[in-house]
Amino acid sequence: MADLLARAGDVGLASGPVLWQYSRALLANRLFTAGAAMVIFLAVLALVAPVLSRAGWLRDPMQQEAAGLDEDGIPRPAGGAYRLGTDNLGRDVLARAVHGTRISLTIGTAAMVMATVIGVLIGLLAGFYGGKVDLALMRFTEMNMTIPAILLAVAFAGLMDGRVLHLAPEAWHWRWLDVELKRGMFSLFVIIGLVCWPGMVRVIRAQVLVLKEREFVQAARVLGASDARLLLRHLLPNILPTVIVLAAMSTANTILLEAGLGYLGIGVPPPTPTWGSMIFDGQLLFTVAPHIVVAPGVAIVLTVLAFNLMGQGLQEVLDPKQKK
């Protein structure tokens, strides 16, 4: 805690409980407030999207409307009855873009949590135990870093073809351990989570290497604290600022990856509206109806930008010495 206080002092704050100091510093940071405001807005939008549709403020994102296509079967342009136009099946682009927030944020956040848990766990263990454990874990991380995340995700997604994977031996008849390999929200966030963690490991490990030599850790060790206690009560709380920064920044990545997989046609299957698949669907009519592709793209950029800004703001406040 002394360490945190000292750091809070670095950013120009003198007194009050640590959390209060951090919140004040964060609220004073323009990058963070701008990013956080955008994230909150998007989260609220994701929550109320079905309500808006039911109340009639927003059209039904799944409804293929007859009036949505003109006599030649060309989607309606932006403006008019459909504020952002319609897509290739006559569905309202605005409604689909708003509902797409739900998929993007859900998968992005869930994948971020998964990646963070894996990354922090490996980084903590590698840094704390050192020696052979460190060597093995870091080699494993390096192997994962050699494959571009999107390509690995594509390879995983390529395996999702509806087959059933038996985790328990056939003879046991443990059907509850069967996993059906199909594309959906669950498999997507697992895939993205599985490919997004390697970047975090080195940063966490480097911090643990420094921290574990500090007096308070040594003191706890001398007092007979177990490894688990040292890791959870002494090391983890002290790397928390870094973890928060990494988590915010990796959400930007997981959202981009989800959109990318959707764009390649291997994301959440249709007709669920996702930004990536909207762009994928809109490509065929790109020359006559570019608005189908523009709207979800702007949505992706704004969302990713929001998390990037939040991450940078958090970094300036929580982790001023850490260089990216």
Indicate whether 145 belongs to the interface with other proteins (CB under 8 A): yes
Which region, left, alpha or beta, applies to residue 65 given φ > 0 means left and ψ of -120 to 50 means alpha?
Answer: beta
Closest CB 162 distance from other proteins, rounded Å = 9
Indicate whether 252 belongs to the interface with other proteins (CB under 8 A): yes
Binding marks (x or -) toward other proteins, 71..110, rule CB under 8 A?
Answer: ----------------------------------------
Binding marks (x or -) toward other proteins, 271..290, rule CB under 8 A?
Answer: --------x---x--xx--x
Closer Cβ to other proteins, 200 or 256, answer by number: 256
Applying CB under 8 A, which part among 89-97, 159-167, 208-216, 218-226 lies near other proteins? 159-167
Indicate whether 152 belongs to the interface with other proteins (CB under 8 A): yes
Say if residues 307 and 252 touch (Cβ distance below 8 Å).
Answer: yes
How many residues of this chain bind other proteins (CB under 8 A)? 48
Indicate whether 323 belongs to the interface with other proteins (CB under 8 A): yes
* Among 33, 109, 308, 322, interactor with other proteins by CB under 8 A: 308
Indicate whether 140 belongs to the interface with other proteins (CB under 8 A): yes
- CA–CA gap between residue 243 and residue 123 (Å, rounded): 11
Indicate whether 44 belongs to the interface with other proteins (CB under 8 A): no
Indicate whether 37 belongs to the interface with other proteins (CB under 8 A): no
Q: Which of residues 173-212 bind other proteins (CB under 8 A)?
A: 181
Say if residues 183 and 258 touch (Cβ distance below 8 Å).
Answer: no
Indicate whether 215 belongs to the interface with other proteins (CB under 8 A): no
* Among 260, 272, 316, 318, interactor with other proteins by CB under 8 A: 260
Token pair 């807005």 is at which residue? 41
- CA–CA gap between residue 168 and residue 239 (Å, rounded): 37
Closest CB 49 distance from other proteins, rounded Å = 21
What are the Cα distances from residue 309, in Å, to 32, 117, 182, 189, 323?
6, 22, 34, 23, 16
Closest CB 150 distance from other proteins, rounded Å = 4
3-state secondary structure of 91: coil
Neighbours of 78 (CB within 10 A): 18
Closer Cβ to other proteins, 88 or 144, answer by number: 144
What are the Cα distances from residue 271, in Å, to 58, 100, 184?
17, 11, 12
- CA–CA gap between residue 195 and residue 286 (Å, rounded): 31
- CA–CA gap between residue 289 and residue 116 (Å, rounded): 39
- CB neighbours of 108 closer than 8 A, spacing ≥ 6? 251, 254, 255, 258, 303
What residues line the site for other proteins (CB under 8 A)? 139-140, 142-152, 154-159, 161, 163, 165-166, 181, 252, 256, 259-260, 263-266, 279, 283, 286-287, 290, 293-294, 297, 300-301, 304-305, 308-309, 312, 323
